[in-house]
Amino acid sequence: MTHAPDLTLLARELARTFGAEGDDFRPLVGLLLKLLQAQGRGDTAIAVSEEDEHWLATRSWVSVDGHAPLVLRDGWLQFQRLWKAETRIARRLRAMADGTVLQADTPLDDDFLSAADRFELDGEKLTAIRRALGQHLTLLTGGPGTGKTTTLAWLLAAHLRADAALDFALAAPTGKAAQRMGEAIGKAADKLPLDDTARARLTAVTPVTLHRLLGLNGDGQPAHHAGNPLPHTLVVVDEASMVDVRLMARLVDALRPDARLVLMGDPDQLASVEAGRVLADLIAGLPEAHIRLEKTHRFPESIKVLADAIRQGDAETALQRVERNPLRLPAPQSLLTVMEAGYRDYAEALRQPADGPAVQARALLKALECFRVLAPLRRGPTGVETLNRALLQHWAAQGLLQPTGEGVWAGMPVLVTRNAPGLGLSNGDTGVLVPDGPLLKAWFPRGDDVEGLPLTALPPWEPALAMTVHKAQGGEFDHVLLVLPDAPHELVSRQLLYTAVTRAKKIFQLAGDETVLTSGIERPITRTSRLLARLRERDDA
């Protein structure tokens, strides 16, 4: 979040643009500062006192209907752009939900059901598919391992059986989440009851980031909007809990009038980095569109019990589960040893001679999915910058990595931190640095292959052996090590811990004190939003 002095200056500049003069200036700056601070926390509105409400109601730069820079309704103050974003989402998705039940329980034909039986697709997923087929808007949620993407693959198959030429789009907030979505659908494709034409249609659609789907350019203006809508009759967005209110507003603006929308995600994970709690508000405000999957298929029982305890705020059960396999690592060298052991497959791939840079890059990228170090903080003794530096320097001392510049080693993994559509890269994409002759390249997955891009051409990036939990959202790893700070911290929340635990498919380890874990479980993130209120205003002007 921006530091307070910067916010104060920004608040003063905003007040001047509103044309506030004299006595209006000082109280307006105070309210704008509160709004900016709230937005930095992820809130879209602030509650104002009765006295401030009366004062604001007489000002020309305040309205109740979005025709002024500030909007005041029912004691809540918002920036105009956030009020408009929530209003557009509410109006469009409320209308979709009101007309969503085309057929309450769409029947599935015998061939589809026979294939589902052979695949052992359970009744919960079949029920979800029947419901989603009959809806314009579907909110498909569930914890990791409940089979959301499997359900989606079979839902798409059902749509394609009815219309092999279905024009659909698949998207996610990050490149990593989009890649995982495509991989999961690709794995399921051969088992789906589709003819060759429909199966080819399914596998030909590559999931993309929401930014790329909407054609968002450098100045933030989308190519697709109400005046130039997306061509697709079905749009699916995975990891929807990560979508902030303004991006979701752009998406609903860009839908064609007859489009269907499927939003998938886990509302118990971390919310979007930017303001809003869109998925949670939609679930609460549009229950008729909500389908939740409960059966877990992926996790070992130990991870499921721990994740459920954290999600429910049950610190006692969570501590019991952690202490059955305690990991207490007070000494930096002990932590380094555990990190090195976790990355043994990656280190082995570095040691092995490879038949060309692309071959080595594929081996490193595959090994990188086996283990990941996560931390809540970026800086400090247990922050990702410190953890990355410690392991990289340790490997460099062993000769596994070759320094090629300050903070750059051949063989290290990198994480892209800014979208670069021209290079086919998105914020969150992970690659590895492998020399191609004299040129150091970053290699990224491209379907079943890899592509090498000159390091000098990349957008901003950072080392990726250790990642913040926020950056890891949307990813999955066989084994996760979570490194907590030495003392309770405001960033260590219930949602962050749940998100970290559920990144692990097989093994979860914790490095940290139980008081930090307990305080985090007892600290749920709460965000202030007016989207739910807007969803419930059916007769809104």
Per the prediction, the chain carries an average pLDDT of 88
Q: What is the 3-state secondary structure (H, E, C) of 194-220?
A: CCHHHHHHHHHCCCEEHHHHHCCCCCC
Nearest to 295 by CA among 113, 418, 506, 127: 127
Tell me the CA distances in angstroms from 538 to 84, 97, 533, one per residue in order: 16, 12, 10
Give the CA radius of gyration of the chain: 24
Q: What would the pLDDT profile of 349-369 be if each residue is shown by its tens digit? A: 999 887 899 999 999 999 999
Mean pLDDT: which of 112-116, 280-284, 504-508 is highest? 280-284
CA dihedral 437, 443, 446, 447 (to 10 degrees): 100
Q: What is the pLDDT of residue 32?
A: 84
Beta 461-463 vs 168-172: how paired, if at all?
Answer: unpaired
Least confident of 23-37, 161-175, 257-271, 414-428: 23-37
Question: What are the structure tokens assigned to 405, written together?
Answer: 């510049």
Residue 3 pLDDT greater than 50, yes or no: no
Q: What is the pLDDT of residue 488?
A: 93
Burial level of 446, CB count in 10 A (0-12/13-18/19+)?
Answer: exposed
Q: What is the pLDDT of residue 4?
A: 46
Q: What is the pLDDT of residue 11?
A: 66
Q: Which residues contact 289 (CB under 8 A, 6 or more apart)?
A: 93, 96, 97, 100, 135, 137, 138, 139, 282
Residue 18 pLDDT greater than 80, yes or no: no
pLDDT-based confidence at residue 347 (cuts at 50, 70, 90): very high
Q: What would the pLDDT profile of 269-321 be if each residue is shown by its tens digit? A: 988 888 889 999 999 999 999 999 988 776 778 888 899 999 999 999 998 88
Q: What is the pLDDT of residue 84?
A: 96
Q: What is the pLDDT of residue 210?
A: 92
Least confident of 98-102, 106-110, 451-455, 474-478: 98-102
Nearest to 128 by CA among 118, 138, 115: 138
Q: What is the pLDDT of residue 2?
A: 40
Rounded mean pLDDT of 94-114?
Answer: 76
Rounded mean pLDDT of 65-69?
Answer: 88
pLDDT-based confidence at residue 477 (cuts at 50, 70, 90): very high
Residue 325 pLDDT greater than 70, yes or no: no
Q: What would the pLDDT profile of 120-156 be if each residue is shown by its tens digit? A: 888 899 999 999 998 999 999 998 888 899 999 999 9
pLDDT-based confidence at residue 541 (cuts at 50, 70, 90): very low
Residue 158 has phi, psi (to 5 degrees) of -65, -40
- Indicate the residue type of 356: G
Q: What is the pLDDT of residue 92?
A: 95
C-beta neighbour count of 469 within 10 angstroms: 26
Rounded mean pLDDT of 492-508?
Answer: 93
Alpha helices for 369-415 (secondary structure H): 384-398
Residue 442 has phi, psi (to 5 degrees) of -100, 125
Residues 144, 409: Cα–Cα separation, whole Å:
34
Beta 260-265 vs 137-142: how paired, if at all?
Answer: parallel
CB 29 within 8 A of CB 8: yes
Q: What would the pLDDT profile of 201-228 be if each residue is shown by its tens digit? A: 999 898 988 989 999 876 678 999 999 9
Residue 174 pLDDT greater than 80, yes or no: yes
Question: What are the structure tokens assigned to 261, written together?
Answer: 């929308």
Residues 80, 93: Cα–Cα separation, whole Å:
20
Residues 497, 374: Cα–Cα separation, whole Å:
10
Q: What is the pLDDT of residue 266?
A: 92
Q: Which residues contact 443 (CB under 8 A, 6 or more apart)?
A: 357, 358, 361, 364, 365, 431, 432, 433, 434, 450, 451, 452, 453
Q: What is the pLDDT of residue 365?
A: 94
